[in-house]
Chain A
């Protein structure tokens, strides 16, 4: 999507934006056509749990090598080198990593509150950036990242990997073809039954606790909304073709009263133009629903998980037909009436996946980023997609905190800017 599109997209909340994301999303994920023998040297800022998973995944893409690991927690360096199986240079300060000459592109997997600082500095240093979701912690920071991408011409890819999942792409294609009729609702769940904590070597060390369990603290995190909601919100934005108009929400620290500051359960309802809605729920006390996303249209439904997708079609509406005279002569029978309105329990149709695209969502997202770096193409899950996802996360959280409906129009870049561009 061009900058012009984004301005249009965010400038006319009433509906003009609807097409913009659609255009970007319609393209198929790029296929593996990496130039043979090309090398990409990656620097990683944030070598924690997610950073390590990204390292493993990136290292499965041909030509990738990690040439710099940055963290503020010493044990991470040994863990990172265990993954690269080499003496990868380490940095305690991200600025030193960015000053290194042998880093072609940067991966940012730090706590949310540091995203903008690290992403912007990396973009400014001339690198493309793969940044973990959510894009940033405030609307202002999100705007700054978009501005930096535009000004520097260096691309940013947001780590919402399901954007690249083949079953997500195929479902989106079918939705756009109208296979589910008019899509009016998306229900998304990320339900877990655990305290969402990571083990801390010394639980009494409060500094270490905040460092490792940063997701629990408002200073660093937007909690469940950002860490889990962003994936589903990014997809709903694609389904509905833009960002929501408003959001209401509820949440609290109601079960895990262990000193955490971020909610242990959240429920938010986003309204998109035309009364379309995304309902998102994240809880930490029951895992029955797991992580899934349901798309409801007038003709059918899609259920997407982290591993696959299923399509279901609505029962055909009954047709009007002629009645014989017998009815008039004999009448009809009376009696007790009850027809339970049961959930659909029939079989669905698995979302077919193309057999020439291999790899799970993480792999495809990483491969696509490497592709971007080598071919200088704008990533599919770019700063625009990241902006939409992150701003919805931020305002969703705000709606819960302030206990009121939040309007997106109050946070859109000014119309003047749109016309100026």
Chain B
């Protein structure tokens, strides 16, 4: 799993990073206020009147998972939280590339030398990843680790690599070099030294798993937030139509560019403004275009809504990498999807919605920038 880096080198970065964290907390508080317990007479059902909103947060997968849920009592909520965070921990212990004893780390160390057998859950997740890579023309790629290292973004703030560093990294990158054998349930790397990083999908997968668990336990309304980059809304707070989620202005989370009402769907955001460096007037962010082996330029943020967390998380990075035109075409291949890009420079961002809820009118006006609505198919 990717882990948020600290400390950030550039002055701008520090500012934005700190703001992002502060605003993240504000967002959490805001959600709590929005999803307030029903007032008497306002609730739609009798169950809603009895239940109260609870929140618990825990560190996992290099970020904080926050779960808001309605439960009949604190005891009941505690039991749900216990099971939910145990499941997140289990997935962290399995999918992490930071924990040396995780299943993914075992695969990473061995698969260059031999075909490694893994369990059906891991295998099927890796299959999905390669499927996303194929569909997205390689813009989604769980093998970009060596490129991240070459560009200094693995636990660092970034640096321009020497050409030989880049060449060497490119040799070890490419989803086509990951060979899966479905019959034997094995993974093999065509090139030794490759590594898999599930940071672009694992949090969404964990969110989905928790949501399944909550549904089975009979929870009617909940919101699972994986470090704010993937948020799933289950049902709606009593008397409400859904859970409100705000999309921030890149680099300034005190400003909202869009507020959406989520219900039984997920939203993910990829952003480049937390980790980047500047050189000779160009900005290099930590999101790689696996096709070129270089950081994506000219994109600030990509947000997507779809049916589940695995999908949104797996779509948000390709959206970011492809940009608005190619990205919109890509999104059109998935059911019930909406997208919102913020492109350009941080001082003059452009908002580009695609099939975005409530964006027919003045989306993007709060930025003082003109939104490109041509792509909006709403």
Interface residues of A (CB under 8 A from B): 53, 55-57, 59-63, 83-85, 194, 197-201, 203, 307, 358-361, 363
Distance in Å: Cβ of A36 to nearest Cβ of chain B: 11
How far is the CB of B208 from the nearest CB of chain A, in Å?
Answer: 13
Q: Check: B14 CB closer than 8 A to any chain A CB.
A: no
List residues of chain B with CB within 8 A of the CB of A59: 117-120, 185
List of B residues within 8 angstroms of A61 by Cβ = 117
Separation of A359 and B117 alpha carbons in the complex (Å)? 12
**0/1 interface trace, chain B 77-118, chain A, CB 8 Å (1 if under):** 001101100000010001000011111001001100000011
Could you jot down 9 A-B contacts, CB within 8 Å? A53-B90, A56-B94, A59-B118, A62-B186, A83-B121, A85-B124, A203-B75, A203-B79, A360-B106
Chain A residue nearest in CB terms to B73: A203
How far is A59 from B123 in the complex, measured between Cα atoms in Å?
11
C-alpha spacing A365/B117, complex, angstroms? 16
A199 touches B79 (CB 8 A): yes
Residues in chain B near residue A63, CB distance under 8 A: 117
Listed residue (A62, A201, A307) with the most chain B CB atoms within 10 angstroms of its CB: A62
B217 within 8 A of A: yes
Q: Is the CB of A307 within 8 A of B79?
A: no
In the complex, are the beta carbons of B83 and A199 less than 8 A apart? yes
CA distance A21 to B184 in the complex (A): 38
Min Cβ gap B203→A in Å is 20
User: B109 to A358, Cβ gap below 8 A?
Assistant: yes
Closest A residue, CB atoms, query B101: A360
B117:A85 contact, CB within 8 angstroms: no
Partner of B106, one of A201, A203, A363: A363
B79 touches A62 (CB 8 A): no
Q: How far is the CA of A197 from the CA of B90 in the complex (A)?
A: 17
- Asked if B76 is at the interface (CB within 8 A of a chain A CB), the reply is yes
**CB pair A60 B117 closer than 8 Å:** yes
Q: Which residues of B contact A (CB under 8 A)?
A: 75-76, 79-80, 82-83, 90, 94, 99-103, 106, 109-110, 117-122, 124, 184-186, 217
Residue contact A83 to B106, C-beta cutoff 8 Å? no
Q: Which of A56, A200, A361 has the most CB of B within 10 A?
A: A56
Q: Knowing A307-B100, A360-B106 touch, does A85 contact B120 (C-beta < 8 A)?
A: yes
**Which of B101, B121, B124 is within 8 Å of A307, CB to CB?**
B101
Q: Beyond A200-B79, A203-B76, A359-B106, is A84–B120 a contact (Cβ under 8 Å)?
A: yes
CA distance A60 to B124 in the complex (A): 13
Tell me the complex Cα distance, A60–B103, Å: 9
Whether A199 and B119, one on each chain, are in contact in the complex, defined by CB atoms closer than 8 angstroms, is: no
The CA of A57 and the CA of B90, in the complex, are separated in Å by: 12
Check if A199 sits within 8 Å of B101, measured CB to CB: no
User: Nearest chain-B residue to A78 (Cβ)?
Assistant: B216
Cβ contact within 8 Å between A198 and B119: no
Q: Are A56 and B106 in contact (CB under 8 A)?
A: no
Contacts of B119 in A (CB 8 A): 55-57, 59-60, 83
> In the complex, which residues of chain B have a beta carbon less than 8 angstroms from the beta carbon of A194?
82
Distance between Cα atoms of A57 and B117 in the complex (Å): 11
**In the complex, what residue of chain B is closest to A56 when comparing beta carbons?**
B119
Is the beta-carbon distance between B217 and A358 smaller than 8 angstroms? no
A64 → B minimal CB distance (Å): 8
Which A residues are in CB contact (< 8 Å) with B79?
197, 199-200, 203
Q: Which residue of B lies closest to A57 (CB)?
A: B119
8 closest A-B pairs by beta carbon, nearest first, are A199-B79, A360-B101, A85-B120, A59-B119, A62-B117, A56-B119, A199-B83, A60-B119
CB nearest neighbor in B for A86: B120
Q: When A358-B106, A360-B106 are in contact, do A56 and B80 touch as well, CB less than 8 Å? A: no
- Which chain B residue lies CB-closest to A75? B216
Min CB–CB distance B324 → chain A (angstroms): 38
B106 contacts across to A, CB distance below 8 A: 60, 358-360, 363
Bound-state Cα–Cα, A253 to B79, Å: 21
> Is A83 within 8 A of B110, CB to CB?
no
The distance in angstroms between the C-alpha atoms of A269 and B57, with both chains bound, is 38
B184 CB, nearest partner CB in chain A, Å:
8
B110 touches A199 (CB 8 A): no
Contact check, A199 vs B80: say whether CB atoms are below 8 A apart.
yes
Q: A360 contacts which chain B residues (CB < 8 A)?
A: 101-102, 106
Report the minimal beta-carbon distance from B185 to chain A, rounded to whole angstroms: 8
Expressed in whole angstroms, the minimum distance between the Cβ of A181 and any Cβ of chain B is: 30
Given A60-B103, A199-B82: 4 more A-B contacts, CB < 8 Å? A59-B117, A60-B106, A61-B117, A307-B101
CA–CA, A194 to B58, complex, Å?
A: 15
Docked Cα-Cα span, A200 to B94, in Å, equals: 25
Given the known A-B contacts A60-B103, A307-B100, A358-B106, are A201 and B217 also in contact in the complex, defined by CB atoms under 8 Å? yes
Chain B residue nearest to A362 (CB atoms) is: B101
What's the least CB distance linking A263 to chain B, in Å? 21
List B contacts of A361 (CB < 8 A).
101
B217 / chain A contacts, CB cutoff of 8 Å: 199, 201
Across-interface contacts of A200 in B (CB, < 8 A): 79
